[in-house]
Structure 1
Amino acid sequence: MLHLEQLSLNIPDTTKPRVVVIGGGFGAVNLTKYLPDDQFQVVMLSKQHYYGFWPLLYQVATAGLEPESIAEPIRKLFDDRNDFHFRFVRVTAINPAAKTVTTLIGDVQYDYLVIATGTKSNYFGNEQIKHNSFGLKNLTDAVNLRSQLLQSFEQANLTKDPDQRQSLLNIVIAGAGPTGVELAGSLAEMRRHVLPRDYPGLDFRQMNIYLVDGLDRVLPPLSPESSKNTHQYLEELGVIIKLNKLVSSYDGETVLFKDGEQIRTQTLVWAAGVAGATVEGLPAESLERGRYLVNHFNQVLGFEDIFAIGDIALMKSEKWPKGHPQVAQPALQQGRLLGKNLTRERRNQAWEAFEYFDKGSLAIVGRARAVADLPGNRSLKGFIAWVAWLFVHIYYLIGFRSKLIVMTNWLYRLFTYQRGTRIIIQPYVQPGDKVGEEFVRQQTVD
């Protein structure tokens, strides 16, 4: 086994300006595309070695898509570049005085630093919920949740205890934003069309899908009209919606709400909020509400050579006093413009200030059930919004292989109501679940 002291970043020297990018998501990848290979050396540092299309994570979690259909290795995206260097490492600190970035295996010098670290789940300081619930922020989360769901159905099919069976069939989703809504809708369609065939001995009328939120409506980022239509679609699918509800605690068996209500469940999905994935080293005045304050060129407050883009950046304007929404489009647009601006600097040209073009918002609830808010205060719902959602998501997938696989999967589901291969590759056991540990051990013993 290799030890940390035996490892090195091994970045080649260069006479070109070195752009160090922390993160490998929408903003980081789009930035790199717009940095000419003959003018810059790009060093990308990320704790994940793949680029993922996160809006479709919930489909991986519900066995609609396989993990590799929405992800590509970052190196593959830039295998035609000679001076791009990806390192699969975690960044621990930034030293702006020395112009270095510190990782677990060493430091790297930068001429320009771009922070594109995105967000992480926000548990609001509740360690019990963090320890026992399921997030949905990356492929590991999605695969773990899929394993948990499938194992719950398997165990519900085996148990003789009706209370335990009900606990296994109860699923609670905290957070009624796009992730929570789309996950709830997908589970509801799975319950209606897929699970009764897989488990004919189980009565899936007993399966409860709870969608809870502390606010007074679902899909708060979208218009009231789209929120109302989404609420109606979810109720048509049999999702139990609980609004103005705050989760107080979850011990792995019982969700306790602030008002005293309890729900027994083996599965709590936490989609109730995000926080910026900040890096140590920059002064506190550069941060506000967990995001880096940036000007209209995405320069972090107080620095000319450090930039932040995407979800981690807080760019205030008259139209966006609280910053841009933490979705894909601001990250893509900021990455593209920053790449162009750094190139302009090399040519002694003036920089262009960022202006966000809001292309609208989409959310899908189920087959022919979707909503869309478009520029000009226009809204769509139903089949036409569903078709728009399909085309937009296919368009933004990276690589022909991914587009083909996802489109083929969706066409197959359209005509058959079936899902992908519902197999448990890696059994998942929640920490402290002795019964689950013993069950998995017995199933996997030689």
Structure 2
Amino acid sequence: MDEHAKIEELGKPRVVIVGGGFGGLELAKALRHVNVQVVLIDKQNYHTFQPLLYQVATAGLDADDIVSPFRKILEDQGNVFFRMAEVQSVDTEAQVVKTSIGLVKYDYLVIATGATTNYFGDQEMAKNSVAIKSVEDAIMLRNTVLNNFEKALQVEDPVERNSLLDFVIVGGGPTGVEVAGALSELRKHVFPKDYRELDFKEMDIHLIQSGPTLLKGMSPEASQKALEFLQNFGVDVMLDCRVKSYDGYTVTLNTGQTLITRTLIWAAGVSGAPIEGIRKESILKGNRYQVDEHNRITGYNNVFAIGDIAAMVTSEYPEGHPMVAQPAIQQGKLLAKNIGNLLCQRALDTFHYDDKGAMATIGRNHAVADVKLFHKEFRTQGFLAWLMWTFVHVISLVSFRNRLAVFISWTWSYFSLDKGLRFIIGNKREPIPVEETAPKELV
């Protein structure tokens, strides 16, 4: 029989939050003045600022710059108890969450597990590509890139050497666009100094997008300008194109064209991360929970979902709100208020998304921004958009230490044209031996 996790009972209604991403963390903080006990459960002991993971992957920032320990963030909030654990399932009848440290009782359960990488059932792609959804992913990608360049120095065959120098990025959303831009900057300013024996005219960067435009969801002006910026940076952008297969060496496209690379970066899609025990009828397309206008999961009275895992279907958002930080943060704030309303038997407030717009950076002095100010949309591209993107991302970081560290790193990189975090520590993806993947005529 499972034992209950050791958590002090305060004699107050207990709110259990599963997941410490933007939504879960915001909810925990917003419950500060509500008469409840909060138990925050996450498999890591830190919050990750995911929009800057690509900066860690491309040596622009250290992992420490974009993570902050939950206990530090919530240290002065006496009604919050954090537990690092894996959530295995939930029993909604008994109102307990089964975790790797035991059972956790709840009065209100909030699922904020976010999203995971979606390979659309392609197991070969999942095995051979590199995603950027976690700090571990970002560090592995950085290590893999640098490790491949070290190996390229020892390779005589030009085809095999090119496979180590070339990159294929799948997905033309913000992550894909930003990774492509960052790699082009490294190719221009950094790698030629580090690897003087290599000819970086041989380093190709391919960005593959299944649709007709980049940055779907942003304005046509932003999409077109992002395309122009990337092309000017020497990125080969392939629109209306899909990857059929990737074996760790050869990328086969739906057009019949093939590309050779040891590093395929998968930024093509995400899927919700549901928990076992919630009724299957409540899960919609994309593994997201169907929730009402109060973020309550369909079929439950005291089980909620916020952020990427929640699909609040409306006429304006027929597939749910965008899977980005702002909806999660706003839902977390409102749910804290509504839990207070439930305790006081007041009517619940309805969620209305305040869309603040979207931004993406393509590299030094180049970005696109569709920002909503005073109910009017403001669109800009280039240096001003880059300044806005930089400012917004710095102030959005959780702690002052993170903000200061990122500001200093970016300022130093801007004036020095250098990225100083080019070290290989931890796991890396070793290239599959060329004999196992390459066509016979190339071996």
**Which range, TM-score by smaller chain?**
over 0.9
**SS of alignment partner, residue 34 of structure 1:** helix
Contact 2:23–2:112 (CA under 8 A) maintained in structure 1: yes
Aligned residue pairs: how many?
431
Unaligned runs of 5+ in 2: 436-443
- CA shift for structure 1 position 36: 2.6
Counterpart selection for 2:224 from 197, 222, 228: 228
Cα RMSD (Å): 1.8
Where does residue 416 of structure 1 map in the other structure? 416
Instruction: Report the Cα distance in structure 1 between the residues aligned to 2:266 and 2:241, rounded to whole angstroms.
Output: 14
Where does residue 393 of structure 1 map in the other structure? 393
Alignment-mate amino acid for residue 39 of structure 2? V
Where does residue 304 of structure 1 map in the other structure? 301
**SS of alignment partner, residue 207 of structure 2:** strand
Contact 1:36–1:343 (CA under 8 A) maintained in structure 2: no
Instruction: Report the Cα distance in structure 1 between the residues aligned to 2:225 and 2:40, rounded to whole angstroms.
Output: 42
Instruction: Report the Cα distance in structure 2 between the residues aligned to 1:392 and 1:8, rounded to whole angstroms.
Output: 42
Counterpart selection for 1:178 from 151, 163, 174: 174
**SS of alignment partner, residue 153 of structure 2:** helix
Contact 2:296–2:302 (CA under 8 A) maintained in structure 1: yes
- CA shift for structure 1 position 350: 2.8
Single out whichever of 363-372 and 419-428 deviates more from structure 2: 419-428
Deviations 1:51-103 (A, max 9, x none): 01100000000000000000011111111123322221111111111111112
TM-score (norm. length: structure 2): 0.94
Counterpart selection for 1:68 from 64, 74, 78: 64
Alignment-mate amino acid for residue 382 of structure 2? G
Instruction: Report the Cα distance in structure 2 between the residues aligned to 1:415 and 1:134, rounded to whole angstroms.
Output: 31
Counterpart selection for 2:85 from 85, 89, 101: 89
Contact 2:115–2:308 (CA under 8 A) maintained in structure 1: yes
Contact 2:165–2:202 (CA under 8 A) maintained in structure 1: yes
Q: Where do residues 338-377 of structure 1 align in structure 2 (5 Å cutoff)?
A: 338-375=335-372, 376-377=376-377
Counterpart selection for 1:316 from 306, 313, 317: 313
- CA shift for structure 1 position 279: 0.8
Q: Where do residues 176-325 of structure 1 align in structure 2 (5 Å cutoff)?
A: 176-289=172-285, 290-325=287-322
Instruction: Report the Cα distance in structure 2 between the residues aligned to 1:427 and 1:294, rounded to whole angstroms.
Output: 39
Instruction: Report the Cα distance in structure 2 between the residues aligned to 1:426 and 1:378, rounded to whole angstroms.
Output: 43
Alignment-mate amino acid for residue 293 of structure 2? H
Counterpart selection for 2:48 from 49, 52, 56: 52
Alignment-mate amino acid for residue 74 of structure 2? F
Instruction: Report the Cα distance in structure 1 between the residues aligned to 2:421 and 2:353, rounded to whole angstroms.
Output: 40
Between the two proteins, what is the percent identity of the paired residues?
45
- CA shift for structure 1 position 8: 6.7
- CA shift for structure 1 position 378: 3.0
With over 3 angstroms needed to count, the CA separation of the structure-2 counterparts of 1:93 and 1:390, relative to structure 1, is same
Alignment-mate amino acid for residue 271 of structure 1? A
Deviations 1:102-130 (A, max 9, x none): 12332211100000001000001010100
TM-score (norm. length: structure 1): 0.93
1:331 to 2:331 alignment: no
1:139 to 2:135 alignment: yes
**SS of alignment partner, residue 271 of structure 2:** strand
Deviations 1:243-287 (A, max 9, x none): 111111111111112232211111010100000011111112211
Q: Where do residues 121-132 of structure 1 align in structure 2 (5 Å cutoff)?
A: 121-132=117-128
**SS of alignment partner, residue 45 of structure 1:** strand
- CA shift for structure 1 position 38: 6.7
Instruction: Report the Cα distance in structure 1 between the residues aligned to 2:34 and 2:279, rounded to whole angstroms.
Output: 34
